[in-house]
């Protein structure tokens, strides 16, 4: 999937400029963050669930083929739901996407506050 329609550059008909590469990197990072928001899209192979069905660990494969690992913290009050998780993307550097604990409605279990995912 092309991120941009490149134009020829001045040296050797190359489209590579710092501005274009920085923009491309920004778009890729935004896409990876969107994928990290729903890690089930990346699960590959067996998924380990707790006794209530909450996914607590899985191998993941990112669109570029990079491997990673998902680790979820199951909700105590809402069986089957996940409160927080981390998902890694192995590479140079290896990145860890962390979803801090969400706040849930005490009656319905619906998420009422989802802190931003952090990347380290």
What pLDDT, on a 0 to 100 scale, did the predictor assign at position 22? 76
Residues with Cβ within 8 Å of 99's Cβ and at least 6 positions away in sequence, in order, are 36, 37, 84, 85, 86, 114, 115, 117
Strand pairing category for 55-61 and 67-74:
antiparallel
What pLDDT, on a 0 to 100 scale, did the predictor assign at position 8? 56
For every one of its 120 residues, what pLDDT tens digit does the chain have, with 9 covering 90 and above? 345 555 556 655 566 677 777 787 888 888 999 999 999 999 999 999 999 999 999 999 999 999 999 999 999 999 999 999 999 999 989 999 999 999 999 999 999 999 999 999
What pLDDT, on a 0 to 100 scale, did the predictor assign at position 19? 76
What pLDDT, on a 0 to 100 scale, did the predictor assign at position 10? 60
Q: In the beta sheet, which residues pair with residue 72?
A: 85
Cis previous bond, 93, omega within 30: yes
d(CA 93, CA 119): 12
Residue 16: half-sphere exposure toward Cβ, Cα within 13 Å: 3
Q: Single out the residue of 77, 76, 79, 85 nearest to residue 43, CA to CA.
A: 85
What pLDDT, on a 0 to 100 scale, did the predictor assign at position 28? 86
What pLDDT, on a 0 to 100 scale, did the predictor assign at position 23? 81
Domain boundaries, the chain: 18-119
Q: In the beta sheet, which residues pair with residue 71?
A: 57, 86
What pLDDT, on a 0 to 100 scale, did the predictor assign at position 13? 55
What pLDDT, on a 0 to 100 scale, did the predictor assign at position 112? 97
Rounded to the nearest angstrom, the gap between the alpha carbon of residue 97 and the centroid of all alpha carbons in its chain is: 6
């Amino acid at each position: 999937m092309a991120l941009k329609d490149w134009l020829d550059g001045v040296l050797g008909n190359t489209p590579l400029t710092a501005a274009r590469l920085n923009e491309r990197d920004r778009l890729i990072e935004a896409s990876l963050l969107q994928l990290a928001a729903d890690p089930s899209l990346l699960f590959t192979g067996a998924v380990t669930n707790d006794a209530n069905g909450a996914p607590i660990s899985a191998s993941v494969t990112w669109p570029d083929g990079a491997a990673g690992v998902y680790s979820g913290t199951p909700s105590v009050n809402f069986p089957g739901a996940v409160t927080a998780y981390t998902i890694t993307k192995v590479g140079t550097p290896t990145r860890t996407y962390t979803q801090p604990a969400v706040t849930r409605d005490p009656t319905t279990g619906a998420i009422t506050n989802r802190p931003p995912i952090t990347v380290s």
